[in-house]
């Protein structure tokens, strides 16, 4: 039986957190399955680019420290591989930008479809269609948001650091991060779902947060802590296993002199895999924050539009 999740609902601090996990419980399987299908290409491209760049620096590292049987790094190696390195960096930037657009816009489209018909699971083809229609607007949003939020973020960070000399500065800094994360993604909800201009969406998102500051920012801070703790646990375990393996190998083998190129290659591959796992886990877990922001958006719409109340009245009218 398909469980219906109520998007349009006035929420408070506790509701934002509990309803986020309730959303994952009811919609998580379909949500993340479609997301991984949608984001598979940019994630794969990101991993390939990281491997190319990592291979370059691996060669530099092993040659510099003499782990390649006496071979040392020279200018010819850098010259011969400079083009591949530049291509890898450019492709990495493009893949990161595209993945960012997919990552932030996906929950907007998913919830948009769910809001239109709560009794039907959103389909990937519908999400892709909406994404293609709005692609130029998403690019414009990416450029404008980078410029605007970067400038404001620098100012806010500078003020927070200046206030660090007094106790209140630490508290302010703790609130600045979840405030900006929520502000950014909430701006996209207004920009895409309500088809507002960037600065109108920017303004409405700001007012939505400030009018419910402690409940919205407090819930975002709690969710951010949960995401960071879980992400750290998942990624630190394989990282620590790899590092302990390296240290144990050094002790058994007699120190740095026992390391050869093949040993470095194995540990490098393991570290790249751990790093890739870290990116994947962090990307997936970040959707808890994005989903919670979506609940803030639909809670604000319920306050303004009384959608649930009107639907209840219409249902009563149809039954009479």
In this prediction, residue 61 has a pLDDT band, given cuts at 50, 70 and 90, of low
Instruction: Tell which wins on pLDDT, 177 or 275.
Output: 177
Residue 32 vs residues 78, 101, 127, 278, 298: alpha-carbon distances, Å: 41, 16, 13, 17, 20
pTM for the model: 0.83
Does residue 112 register a pLDDT over 80? Answer: yes
In this prediction, residue 250 has a pLDDT band, given cuts at 50, 70 and 90, of low
The pLDDT score that the predictor gives to residue 91 is: 82
Cα–Cα dist 141/132, whole Å: 14
Instruction: Tell which wins on pLDDT, 273 or 21.
Output: 21
Does residue 226 register a pLDDT over 50? Answer: yes
Does residue 119 register a pLDDT over 90? Answer: no
Q: How large is the average pLDDT for residues 52-65?
A: 63
In this prediction, residue 70 has a pLDDT band, given cuts at 50, 70 and 90, of very low
Q: Contacts for 55-59 with beta carbons within 8 Å, 24 or more apart? A: 56/81, 56/84, 56/85, 56/88, 58/264, 58/265, 58/268
Q: How large is the average pLDDT for residues 271-291?
A: 83
User: Cα–chain-centroid distance for residue 294?
Assistant: 14
Max avg pLDDT among 20-34, 36-50, 154-168, 298-312: 20-34
Q: How large is the average pLDDT for residues 210-236?
A: 89
Cα–Cα dist 28/108, whole Å: 15
Max avg pLDDT among 39-48, 116-125, 217-226, 302-311: 217-226
Q: Contacts for 77-86 with beta carbons within 8 Å, 24 or more apart? A: 81/56, 84/52, 84/56, 85/52, 85/53, 85/56
Cα dihedral across residues 259, 264, 265, 266: positive or negative: positive
Cα–Cα dist 281/279, whole Å: 6
User: What DSSP character marks residue 256?
Assistant: G
Tokens of 287: 């959707």
The pLDDT score that the predictor gives to residue 218 is: 92
The pLDDT score that the predictor gives to residue 243 is: 67
Q: How large is the average pLDDT for residues 226-236?
A: 84
Cβ proximity of 68 and 22 under 8 Å: no
Cα–Cα dist 93/84, whole Å: 14
Q: How large is the average pLDDT for residues 250-276?
A: 60
Does residue 260 register a pLDDT over 60? Answer: no
In this prediction, residue 68 has a pLDDT band, given cuts at 50, 70 and 90, of very low
Cα–Cα dist 203/149, whole Å: 12
Length of the chain: 320
Tokens of 241: 């296993």
Q: How large is the average pLDDT for residues 108-115?
A: 92
* Mean pLDDT, the chain, whole residue set: 80
In this prediction, residue 316 has a pLDDT band, given cuts at 50, 70 and 90, of low
Number of C-beta neighbours around residue 268 at 10 A: 16
Q: How large is the average pLDDT for residues 259-287?
A: 72
Cβ proximity of 141 and 188 under 8 Å: yes
Cα–Cα dist 219/291, whole Å: 12
Lowest mean pLDDT among 35-39, 119-123, 209-213, 279-283: 279-283
Cα–Cα dist 123/34, whole Å: 8
Exposed, middle or buried, 298 (CB in 10 Å: 0-12/13-18/19+)?
buried
Exposed, middle or buried, 287 (CB in 10 Å: 0-12/13-18/19+)?
buried
The pLDDT score that the predictor gives to residue 190 is: 94
Cα–Cα dist 68/46, whole Å: 28
Tokens of 285: 């877990």
Does residue 240 register a pLDDT over 70? Answer: yes
Q: How large is the average pLDDT for residues 154-182?
A: 81
Q: How large is the average pLDDT for residues 101-129?
A: 91
Spell out the alpha helix ranges (H) of the chain.
Answer: 13-64, 75-116, 124-133, 135-162, 167-193, 198-211, 213-253, 261-305, 307-319
Max avg pLDDT among 50-64, 216-230, 274-288: 216-230
């Amino acid at each position: 039986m398909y469980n219906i999740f109520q998007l349009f609902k006035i929420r408070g601090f506790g509701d934002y957190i509990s309803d986020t996990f309730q959303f994952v419980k009811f919609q998580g399987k379909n949500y993340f399955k479609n997301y991984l299908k949608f984001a598979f290409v940019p994630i794969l491209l990101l991993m390939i680019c990281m491997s190319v760049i990592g291979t370059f620096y691996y060669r530099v590292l092993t040659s510099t420290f003499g782990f390649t049987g006496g071979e040392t790094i020279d200018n010819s190696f850098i010259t011969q591989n400079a083009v591949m390195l530049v291509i890898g960096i450019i492709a990495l930037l493009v893949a990161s930008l595209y993945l960012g657009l997919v990552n932030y816009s996906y929950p907007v489209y998913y919830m948009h479809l769910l809001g239109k018909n709560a009794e039907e699971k959103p389909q990937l083809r519908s999400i892709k269609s909406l994404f293609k229609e709005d692609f130029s607007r998403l690019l414009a949003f990416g450029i404008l948001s980078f410029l605007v939020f970067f400038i404001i973020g620098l100012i806010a960070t500078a003020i927070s650091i200046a206030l660090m000399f007094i106790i209140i500065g630490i508290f302010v800094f703790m609130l600045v991060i979840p405030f900006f994360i929520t502000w950014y993604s909430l701006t996209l909800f207004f920009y895409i779902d309500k088809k507002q201009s960037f600065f109108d969406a920017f303004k409405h998102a700001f007012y939505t947060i400030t009018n419910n500051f402690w409940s919205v920012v407090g819930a975002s801070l709690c969710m951010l802590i949960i995401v960071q703790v879980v992400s750290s646990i998942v990624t630190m375990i394989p990282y620590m296993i790899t590092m302990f393996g390296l240290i144990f190998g050094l002790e058994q083998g007699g120190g740095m002199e026992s390391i050869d190129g093949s040993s470095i290659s194995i540990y490098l591959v393991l570290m790249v895999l751990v790093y890739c796992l870290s990116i994947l886990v962090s990307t997936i877990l970040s959707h808890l924050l994005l989903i919670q922001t979506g609940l803030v958006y639909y809670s604000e719409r319920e306050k303004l539009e009384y959608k649930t109340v009107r639907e209840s009245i219409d249902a009563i009218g149809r039954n009479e």
